[in-house]
Structure 1
Amino acid sequence: MKIFPAIDIKDKKCVRLVKGDFDNKTEYELSPVEQASKYKDHGFKNLHIVDLDGALEGETTNLDIIQDIVSKFDLKIEIGGGVRNFESIQKYIDAGVEKVILGSAAIKDKNFLKEACQKFPNKIALGLDAKDGYLSISGWKENSNQLTLDYLKDVNGYGVSRIIYTDINRDGMKQSPNFEETSKIAEKSNCPIIISGGVSSMDDVKKAKTLKNIEGIIVGKAIYDGDIKLQELVKEDA
């Protein structure tokens, strides 16, 4: 199973939000590039990056930071946050990222997702962010009124290369991921799932390894707060 340490970028800094709330954020001392270097030094191979400025603005706001991280460290990066057109996807792929995550734009317009998968084969990841079974969009500020499983059924044949499934109620709360709901998604999905939101301990990571159709797990706040030690976590990274 792949371990994805997380970097969320806001105003050029590493931050963590609680349940996606921009007013409830913690800033950390290390810059995103320094944080990526730390992960690389510990031996991680993958990295999950969210451009929170991009999510708010709908632009590749921190492209320079992403280019810097890609060029300095041999890490497989998935990046999301405000990717709303083919031009943004192309910019990230040109920068050398492994996967571009589509979220709100793909949920609002399924054809955009379908065309993106055709144009950029094996490069598109789908971010499904759910609250009480329904998908949320626009930086989690809006409920889409679409049931996650219904939406997945509609897009399952499009050629998405991975799904990042986040339970918003758990994100930043360190209360363990919603394994039950994640398993339902994994069972129905044609592509592998990355678990996100609420990882609080090594037990969560070990439990994720026992589930079917799970490609990896994203660990964020628990690293920054020192609940999970990087040297222990990297042992689970395969």
Structure 2
Amino acid sequence: MNPETFAPEHFRWDFDEGVATVTLNRPERKNPLTFDSYGELRDTFRALVYRPEVKAVILTGEGGNFCSGGDVHEIIGPLTEMDMPGLLVFTRMTGDLVKAIRDCPQPVITAADGVCVGAGAILAMASDLRVATPETKTAFLFNRVGLAGCDMGACAILPRIIGQGRASELLFLGRTMSAEEGEAWGFWNRVVPQGELMTTANDLAARIAAGPNFANAMTKNQLNAEWDMGLHQAIEAEAQAQAICMQTEDFRRAYRAFVKKEKPVFEGN
């Protein structure tokens, strides 16, 4: 996958100055996911592991909504006709998308407006940073369609963002979380007017892209890895990670810039 020429079939891809923007673009249906778009998104985020020229990713939706989750006609209906092995293939595939978002070294920023529900809420949850508008309505509505709230890693990730009690409320009730609640609870990093949504997301992405990208990837790796570590193991893992980063040219560039009282210009190596 060459980020300069990549032309996905099921979403829009833009790439400029190290920042890739993935836009879900079925606005007439509030940007639902299909079997094919799940797979293409998963494969795209997996491929980013090998594309260091991509330094940050913005995930957004077209037409005033982020994502309405799995398409009722193209996913939900067919699922009711599948046998258990087929269903497990599907649920593992959707989980693989979350793994791919978490495993790619680039920080991922969700920029959400309007509807952000079901698998759409999961995409936001799986991202590293999240920006919304006051009109954003978020719901993990699996319970409302007769399914468990434990979908695509929700029971593992959501409590770590907003706490066990609040996550339990959203997952048991399937109720909508307002943008105001989401910001107060720490789900949204920023809530900004609609006209400022992409400006804010692009500003965050540009600041990340201008940073020490090797070190940023190390930070994301440690944020993932340390979920399963005890304190002593985590401190040792961070000592090793930081020692590796201290061998980079970016570390030396920062030192030289500090001595000269200049702003460092990082190159990601």
TM-score where L is the length of structure 2: 0.32
Higher relative strand content: 1
Computing the radius of gyration over CA atoms, which structure comes out larger, 1 or 2? 2
TM-score (norm 1): 0.35
Q: Which has the higher helix share?
A: 2
